[in-house]
Amino acid sequence: MGRVTAQRPVSRIDGEQRRTRPDTVVVEEPLEIRVNGTPLAVTMRTPGSDVELAQGFLLTEGIIADRADIASIRYCNSVDDNGVNTYNVLDVDLAAGVFLPDTGIERNFYTTSSCGVCGKASLDAIRQRTRHSPATDTVRVPAATIAELPDRLRAAQRVFETTGGLHAAGLFTRTGELLAIKEDVGRHNAVDKLIGWATEQNRVPLRGSILLVSGRASFELAQKAVMAGIPILAAVSAPSSLAIDLAHDTGLTLIGFLRGTTMNIYTHSDRITRFDLLNRARTLPVPCGQYD
């Protein structure tokens, strides 16, 4: 829709020089998600992939299990002062036999771009029971493959190059192939868009996959990974204590501080195998008297 970035004037100071010029910034607008005509949530997001965002949100909230649980998704006729559709309201019709949980409307939560769980009544309300538990996933991934993922994610961040103001979430195969990437002003939105993409592609549960996020690993991001059946969540920054606790309890492998060849594996480290021993051996000095 061409609303991902916008131009704003900025006064730039460089030493003793000062000049005014246009700056490219990321767009942030509200998106209201309605289910069967009833308002459910509002999130501040970067426009684009809104249908995927709604699908991912509903799946990670436990309202749907897969794409078949949705009958239709459409933009409502929400207009601005000039009568132009803002494309900021989505209405999702659930399939026959699929109903909102009793707690869904009562929570009536508001989601900001920095914290997707703000406003939820209690910790128990957000510990959803996943229908796609990663606990039984037997995938194994070499540490060397994990180490390569941040560079691959960064290279694919197109909007970040022009704004510097977006979070990214990437979905990778066990061999490090990038399946999809989503960017958003909110890290939880980027993950929802990614999981929504997988839902649309009928890939859920995401067995054998790796989710990489560009920032920290919060409780909510760990929850979303678990709800989608993702066995490995990696972040370039720190995880929270609740994220670690949730990952431990649900069988999720949680990696933090993924930078270069270093990483911290907080839970279920058996899924990450060591760097290639042959390559490592070639970098070590050969003791005196030993030859190939």
Half-sphere exposure of 19 (CA within 13 A, CB side): 5
Q: Give 79-107 as a DSSP string.
A: B-TTS-B---EEEEEEPTT----HHHHHH
- DSSP assignment of 124-163 equals HHH----SS-STT----EEHHHHHHHHHHHHHT-HHHHHH
Token duo for residue 197:
């993409």
Minimal CA–CA distance to 192: which of 94, 58, 88?
A: 58
Specify whether 115 is catalytic: yes
- Please pick, among 76, 115, 118, 288, the residue that the annotation labels catalytic: 115
Distance (Å, whole) CA 122 – CA 114: 18
- Compute CA distances 232 → 201, 211, 267, whole Å: 20, 6, 10
Cβ 168 vs Cβ 91: under 8 Å: no
User: Which contiguous run of DSSP H or E holds residue 192?
Assistant: helix 187-200
The rounded Cα 73 to chain-centroid distance in angstroms is 21
Residues marked active site are found at 115
